[in-house]
Amino acid sequence: MTAHVAAFYVKVALFYATARGTIGNDTESAKQASACSSAIYLHSLQKSFAGQSTALIAELSRLLETHNILTSAASAANSKKRHGANALAAVVGKQIATLATKSQTCTSKANEVIALLSLQAGQHLAYDGLSKLETPTAEGNAVSGSGSSETKDMEATLTGLTDTTCIDKKTTDLTAGERNVNIAGLHTIRTYKLQRKTGSSNADKKFCAAKCDSTCGTASNWKPAFLGKTLLEAVPDTNIEVKATGKSNANKPSKCSDGRTEPTQQKYDLEWRAYDFLNNKYCEFSKLDLGTTATSKSDETIRRVMLAATQGASTKYDPENNAQKAAIDSLITETFGSDKNAFENGFWKPLKETMMDLTIGGKELKNKLENIAKPDNIALKAVLKQFLEAKARICDNIAAATKSDIKCEGSDQAKCDNEKCDFKDGKCKLKDSVKSGKLWKTNTNTTVNNSFVINKVPILLAVLLL
């Protein structure tokens, strides 16, 4: 092995070791080093959980828009693109159904965790504020020294009650760790609780005193005093282990020990629900790549639809039939192209840019297909689909009638097509019932730029004929 090859393998090994460490290690505990930083981190974590639900909904929205284009194109495009649009509409529809169901669970589960994270963050924010509570440094009035019984009291205003240091932090004040969340590295949610601040030898508990500055043998030199002390502190409590094993069931927590006032049930619920959410990946999904799916030749839905579209719905789909397999493969390549780039430029882009020019119920729709197939036109979509399908049938009749004109010629009765022609007066002539198809030709046409120009009269007739 040469030195260069050895160096290459060393680099690869280091890369994988680093990558595995990044994925497997706990990267989030250090971001929660105090009650304040934990509150901020938990707020970011809420956004991260909500973001997963939002991403899933955004993908559904993208797929619905794609489905609108495909279903409209399935009626408007030429036969080859129509078959392709039908097949892809089936694939996209299947993905929409899958993600719609997943979205319901994702949103529900994410909201459960977010609500509990919000409560935990609020507690930590309150604990941080209360940990700023202090007694002032202040002195009262001296005793009179008259020798009779005497009590001296004093008022003191606690400070720190309105501290908003943590709440007022701006984005620029936060560390990268507090702003960014790495879900893959979330093993532990650190929690905090309040306790009396003790200090060395309980020094912080000693905030009330009797004070004498000099000549302390004289009673009138003594007076009450407050010593400036911090009363409370936020300290680490039991961690919430969201990546620990054995938390797949929502078992009841053990009974709280006497004297504990923190909401143990809430913390347990957060622990279990966060574990459940991360472990079951309720919001994870694979984004549908239309070009890759269309040209892969491996999607069963596309294969079945393409077979039915070209050979009839009654044709049995047989994946073991090599001749059928080869025919479908060839049809897929012919329709979608051989790769993603060919699909994009040869099928998808031209399909979306098909120009439509029609009026339905007084509303003019003159635009590219991708712009017409929008939610605000959804009410017209059914009528549009009905009309375009009727138009396709009419065009087929026109083609059939034109073809019959060519055949319905001559004076040889034996060669006259009995289905489409009549032999009258010694000549083979087109039947009147077939001729009627020509009436549509004056009202419907396709322009040279691949747009459909549809006049108002055919729309009404087409809809009435359905």
Residue 15 confidence (pLDDT):
38
As a whole number, mean pLDDT of residues 122-151 equals 88
Instruction: Provide mean pLDDT across the span 67-73.
Output: 86
Q: What is the pLDDT of residues 261-292, one digit of tens each?
A: 455 678 888 988 999 999 999 999 999 999 99
160: pLDDT confidence band, cut at 50, 70 and 90? Answer: confident
Give the pLDDT of residue 441. Answer: 36
Of the candidates 122, 465, 109, 125, the one whose C-alpha atom is nearest the C-alpha of residue 284 is: 109
pLDDT at 396: 52
Task: Convert the pLDDT of each residue in 225-251 to its tens digit.
Answer: 988 888 899 999 989 988 866 565 555
Query: What is the per-residue pLDDT for 296?
Result: 92
| Residue-range domain boundaries for the chain | 28-142+159-251+263-288, 354-466
Interval 329-339 mean pLDDT = 93
Cα(251)–Cα(254) distance, rounded to whole angstroms?
9
Contact present, 327 and 344 (Cβ < 8 Å): no
pLDDT value, residue 420: 73
**Euclidean distance between CA atoms 440 and 358, whole angstroms:** 16
Which band of pLDDT confidence, cut at 50, 70 and 90, is reported for residue 442? very low
Q: Is the pLDDT of residue 41 over 80?
A: yes
Burial of 151 (0-12, 13-18, 19+ CB in 10 A): exposed
Chain mean pLDDT for the chain: 78
Please tell me the predicted confidence (pLDDT) of residue 347: 93
Q: For residue 462, is pLDDT > 60?
A: no
Mean pLDDT of 99-106: 95
Q: What is the pLDDT of residue 463?
A: 35
Of 32-41, 76-85, 251-260, 280-289, the range with the lowest mean pLDDT is 251-260
- Residue 49 reports pLDDT greater than 80: yes
